[in-house]
Amino acid sequence: MTTLRDRLYVVVFQSDTPAGRRFDKTLLLIILASLLVVIIDSVETVHSQYADLFAWIEWGFTFIFAVEYLLRLYCSPKPLRYAFSFYGLIDLLAIVPGILAIYYSDAQYLMIVRVVRMLRIFRVLKLSPYLKQANYLLAALRGSRQKIIVFLVSVSTLVTVFGTLMYVVEGPRNGFANIPTGIYWAIVTLTTVGYGDIVPITPIGQVLSAMVMITGYSIIAVPTGIFTAELANAMRGEGLQHECGVCHKRSHEQTASFCSQCGNALFKKAL
């Protein structure tokens, strides 16, 4: 016999049953709608005209999320553990700004933390092939973590050196107000963003920045190469799993026909 609480638990916390998935999907749509309202409300012309309407709508969303939070507390087998879990805190954070906004109108933008709740999207997609694809990407990222740290340390050093050099060469007169500004410029240039808010004026500065640009243009190859090689690895898999009949060596090169340890043919010819 299932009580109301048990049935609620299945709907609210699990996403394996049709009802649970429907609940999660509805929740996702509501979160998306609440984000959209925050975004639209930030437009001055809209805000000045419909301020009251938007305030009511946001109150509505805060109310819905509060009800959902209380429901989760009620039907969870271990309410305290939920309350202090990652998702529990996020769910709480989705309500707080709506209440704070009564006193501080700026607090309203904290509502954007609700975007973190969008992480639930991965629960809805749990059983879909998307997860496998995301796993490939994560495996590739994990495999290239150390290489990427080496890369980021090198980039940081480059950016510091060039930022300082440009500060010394160009000086505050040409917009390079201090070394942090120089570093900001170096990042803008190295990543090929190139706002143009700070640009070199002196010939030496232009030569230096040409060097930064060509460096940035070339070393984009490094993260790309790292990631591509790792992703190809992750997609190719681990090698051939086939136990050698003689020496029992279990994993071989992908294309092995003979065991590399004992020379025995791995596959008895059918003829």
Phi, then psi, of 258 in degrees rounded to 5:
-125, 150
Residue closest to 155 by CA, chosen among 194, 134, 183, 127: 183
Choose, by CB under 8 A, the member of 115, 123, 139, 174 that binds its own copies.
115
User: To the nearest whole angstrom, how small is the minimum distance from the Cβ of residue 204 to its own copies?
Assistant: 11
Choose, by CB under 8 A, the member of 8, 10, 90, 256 that binds its own copies.
256
Residue 263, token pair as written in the block: 């020379």
Choose, by CB under 8 A, the member of 17, 49, 105, 257 that binds its own copies.
257
Tell me the DSSP string of 20-39: HHHHHHHHHHHHHHHHHHHH
Q: Which is nearer to its own copies, 73 or 148 (CB)?
A: 148
User: To the nearest whole angstrom, how small is the minimum distance from the Cβ of residue 159 to its own copies?
Assistant: 9
Q: Which is nearer to its own copies, 81 or 250 (CB)?
A: 250
Angle made by CA atoms 181, 183, 185, in degrees to the nearest 5:
70
CA atoms within 13 A on the CB side of 63: 6
Q: What residues contact residue 54 under an 8 Å CB cut-off, 6+ apart?
A: 37, 40, 41, 46, 47
Tell me the DSSP string of 189-201: HHTT----SS---
User: Scanning residues 232 to 251, which ones bind its own copies (CB under 8 A)?
Assistant: 232-233, 235, 240, 242, 245-247, 249
Q: Please state whether beta strands 251-252 and 240-241 pair in parallel, antiparallel, or not at all (unpaired).
A: antiparallel
Q: Which is nearer to its own copies, 80 or 131 (CB)?
A: 131
User: Scanning residues 177 to 196, which ones bind its own copies (CB under 8 A)?
Assistant: 177-181, 183-184, 187-196
Task: Count the residues of the shown chain that bind its own copies, applying the rule CB under 8 A.
Answer: 104
User: Scanning residues 127 to 166, which ones bind its own copies (CB under 8 A)?
Assistant: 129-130, 133-134, 136-137, 140, 146-153, 155, 157, 160-161, 164-165
Three-state secondary-structure class, residue 215: helix
The span from the CA of 237 to the CA of 225, in Å, is: 18
Three-state secondary-structure class, residue 59: helix
Stretch that binds its own copies, among 21-29, 41-49, 79-87, 94-102 (CB under 8 A): 41-49
User: To the nearest whole angstrom, how small is the minimum distance from the Cβ of residue 258 to its own copies?
Assistant: 3
User: Scanning residues 46 to 105, which ones bind its own copies (CB under 8 A)?
Assistant: none
Angle made by CA atoms 34, 39, 41, in degrees to the nearest 5:
95
Q: Which is nearer to its own copies, 17 or 260 (CB)?
A: 260
Residue 33 in the binding site for its own copies (CB under 8 A): no
8 Å CB contact between 254 and 240: yes
Choose, by CB under 8 A, the member of 118, 127, 142, 243 that binds its own copies.
118
Residue closest to 37 by CA, chosen among 122, 116, 109: 109
Q: Which is nearer to its own copies, 12 or 208 (CB)?
A: 208
User: To the nearest whole angstrom, how small is the minimum distance from the Cβ of residue 226 to its own copies?
Assistant: 7
| DSSP structure class, residue 258 | B
User: To the nearest whole angstrom, how small is the minimum distance from the Cβ of residue 10 to its own copies?
Assistant: 27
User: Scanning residues 216 to 235, which ones bind its own copies (CB under 8 A)?
Assistant: 216-218, 220-233, 235
